[in-house]
């Protein structure tokens, strides 16, 4: 079931986001560098992932600046600006604390957000995060050292031994 698309404001910037499910916990999904909160519901594996995550709490997903339904003509952005975007989306969704699930380009952002705003982060999980060290190639990833999708379910539901696949 596709939720309503809403918009968070950060100055003149509009960030498209959706909320699905009931919390707690709030779960913020940070995925690949591209996105479209509405079109991703047309891709069955992505829709299934979102529905499964929402079964454990209130899922908050959004289009990063420059992608999807968010403002497109924004130029390059820094990780600090993207953290401000996260805060704006969480504020607009009424979330004070969230579990952060970051994969692909969302991995480094999840790490940085958790390190700089620990009171807002309940816990975080990173899958296939890209390396951000000097000299690393964009195609290098951390997939080999991350937990399976079953660990996502375990991480989001402490005390509930649900190990079914997302």
Domain CATH number, residue 50:
3.40.50.1820
Any domain includes 165: no
Residues near 14 by Cβ (< 8 Å), separated by ≥ 6? 7, 8, 70, 71
Any domain includes 164: no
pLDDT at 112: 80
Any domain includes 163: no
Any domain includes 166: no
Any domain includes 1: no
CA–CA separation, 55 and 76 (whole Å)? 35
Both structure tokens of 6: 């809403």
Any domain includes 63: yes
**Which residue in this structure is represented by tokens 């939720």?**
3
CA–CA separation, 58 and 44 (whole Å)? 20
Average pLDDT along the chain: 76
Residue 22 has pLDDT above 50, yes or no: yes
Residue 82 has pLDDT above 90, yes or no: no
Any domain includes 13: yes
pLDDT confidence of 1, banded at 50, 70, 90? confident
Cis peptide before 28 (omega within 30 of 0): no
> How much is the average pLDDT of 44-55?
90
Residue 134 has pLDDT above 60, yes or no: no
Is the separation of the CB atoms in 57 and 51 below 8 Å? no
Residue 61 has pLDDT above 70, yes or no: yes
The residue segments making up the domain with residue 81 are 6-156
Structural domain tally of the chain?
1
């Amino acid at each position: 079931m596709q939720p309503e698309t809403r918009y968070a404001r950060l100055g003149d910037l509009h960030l498209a986001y959706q909320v699905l499910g009931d919390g707690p916990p709030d779960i913020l999904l940070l995925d690949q560098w591209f996105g479209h909160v509405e079109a991703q519901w047309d891709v069955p594996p992505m829709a299934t992932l979102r529905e499964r995550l929402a079964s454990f709490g209130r899922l908050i997903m959004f289009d990063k600046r420059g992608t999807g339904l968010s403002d497109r003509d924004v130029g390059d952005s820094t990780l600090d600006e993207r953290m401000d975007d996260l805060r704006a989306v969480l504020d607009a969704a009424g979330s004070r604390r969230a579990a952060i699930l970051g994969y692909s380009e969302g991995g480094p952002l999840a790490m940085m957000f958790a390190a700089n705003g620990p009171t807002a982060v309940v816990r975080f999980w990173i899958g296939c995060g890209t390396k951000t060290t000097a000299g690393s190639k964009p195609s290098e990833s951390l997939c080999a050292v991350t937990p399976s999708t079953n660990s996502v379910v375990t991480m989001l539901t402490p005390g509930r031994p649900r190990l079914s696949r997302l």
